[in-house]
């Protein structure tokens, strides 16, 4: 299989954000720009450090957090062997990257748009806010569990109207759900964009259907190739047809995917 737009680049910077009950496992990784002319916020890339050898076969899919002419930045949490090894990278280390992959979020310039982020689903909205032609039309609602400083929330809240809600214990979950449902309802004549874990997206999807709000959902799926060949990330569309999240998504209209 030949993967287009595959390049080896160098790590420019790796830093840890915040700390939650011990050493932080929230990582901001900045790479050299591999020659991209641009990207659409919501797209992702596959990353595989050159030093992995045969120990770890597959790359790891990461949402593109932001990018400019010089660099591309990703934000991830250490959750397994791959991300643990990636968190040990140093400036100057080589990493293979292929992308940008998939589609991105819609960005109508004159439409009130609510960004709903759950946990690591905050990542793609940093670039979305920076690139949006009229950020005054944007509102960010962020639901999270770890401390707020584990995320790049502060830099984003300086640019748009933003609010956060934290689930510290299971008793907080109804409050979080109510806040998300309210945000969807208040965007009746606009657009809702959501990224986060599946239960979070199900809440957004149901609220959008109930209130007749246009919504787009970015799915978090396990991927191996990122280009639609391995069929490891399939989900069902609005009917019973299986579609690849990497090639047909990761962003779907809320009515076009079954969660």
Q: Tell me, what's the pLDDT at 18?
A: 87
Write out pLDDT tens, residues 66-118: 999 999 999 999 988 899 999 999 999 999 999 899 999 999 999 999 999 99
Q: What is the mean pLDDT of residues 11-24?
A: 82
Q: How confident is the model at residue 1 (pLDDT cuts 50, 70, 90)?
A: very low
Q: What is the pLDDT of residue 247?
A: 63
Residue 9 has pLDDT above 90, yes or no: yes
pLDDT number for residue 228: 59
- Arithmetic mean of pLDDT, 169-187: 95
Q: Dump the DSSP string for the chain.
A: -PPTTEEEEEEEEEEE---SSSS--EEEEEEE--S-S---BTBEEEEEEGGGTTTS-S-EEEEEEEE-SSEEEEEEE--SHHHHHHTT--TT-EEEEEEEES------TTS-EEEEEEGGGGHHHHHHHHH-S-GGGEEEEEEESS-GGGTTHHHHHTTSEEEEEE--SGGGHHHHHHHHHHHHHTTTTSEEEEES-HHHHHHHHHHHHHHT-EEEEE-----SSSSSSS-TTEEEESSS-EEEHHHH-SEEEGGGEE-
The architecture in CATH of the region 6-100 reads Beta Barrel (2.40)
Q: Which of 18-22, 29-33, 34-38, 153-157 has the lowest mean pLDDT?
A: 18-22
**Which of the two residues, 162 and 258, has the higher pLDDT score?**
162
- Look at 43-57, 76-90, 103-117, 245-259 and tell me which has the smallest mean pLDDT: 245-259
- SS3 readout for 202-257: HHHHHHHHHHCCEEEEECCCCCCCCCCCCCCCEEEECCCCEEEHHHHCCEEEHHHE
pLDDT above 60 (res 123): yes
pLDDT confidence of residue 244? 64
| Average pLDDT of the segment spanning 234-259 | 74
pLDDT for residue 227 is more than 90: no
**In the chain, pLDDT over 70 holds for what percent of residues?**
87
More confident residue, 54 or 142: 142
Average pLDDT over residues 172-181: 96
Pairwise pLDDT comparison (254 vs 97), residue with the higher score = 97
pLDDT 10s digits, 203-217: 999 999 999 999 999
Domain boundaries, the chain: 6-100
pLDDT recorded at residue 2 = 41
Torsion from C-alpha of 202, 82, 233, 96, nearest 10 degrees: 120
């Amino acid at each position: 299989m030949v993967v287009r737009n595959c390049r080896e680049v160098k790590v420019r910077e790796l830093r840890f954000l915040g700390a939650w009950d011990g050493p932080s496992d929230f990582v901001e990784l900045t790479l050299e720009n591999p020659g991209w002319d641009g990207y659409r916020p919501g797209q992702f890339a596959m990353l595989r450090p050159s030093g992995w050898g045969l120990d770890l076969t597959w790359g790891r899919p990461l949402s593109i957090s932001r990018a400019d002419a010089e660099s591309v930045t990703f934000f991830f949490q250490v959750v397994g062997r791959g991300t643990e090894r990636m968190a040990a990278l140093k400036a100057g280390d080589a990493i293979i990257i292929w992308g940008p992959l998939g589609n991105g979020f819609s960005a109508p310039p004159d439409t009130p748009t609510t960004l709903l982020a759950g946990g690591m689903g905050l990542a793609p909205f940093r670039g979305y806010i920076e690139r949006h032609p009229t950020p005054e039309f944007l509102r960010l609602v962020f639901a999270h569990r770890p401390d707020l400083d584990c995320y790049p929330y502060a830099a984003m809240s300086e640019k748009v109207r933003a609010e956060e809600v934290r689930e510290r214990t299971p008793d907080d979950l109804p409050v979080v759900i109510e806040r998300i449902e309210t945000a969807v309802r208040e965007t009746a004549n606009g657009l809702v964009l959501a990224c986060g874990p599946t239960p979070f997206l199900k809440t957004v999807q149901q609220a959008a259907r109930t209130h007749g709000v246009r919504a787009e959902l970015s799915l978090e799926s396990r991927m191996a190739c990122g280009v639609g060949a391995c069929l490891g990330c399939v989900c069902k569309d609005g009917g019973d047809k299986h579609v690849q999240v990497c090639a047909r998504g990761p962003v779907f209209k809320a009515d076009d995917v079954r969660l």
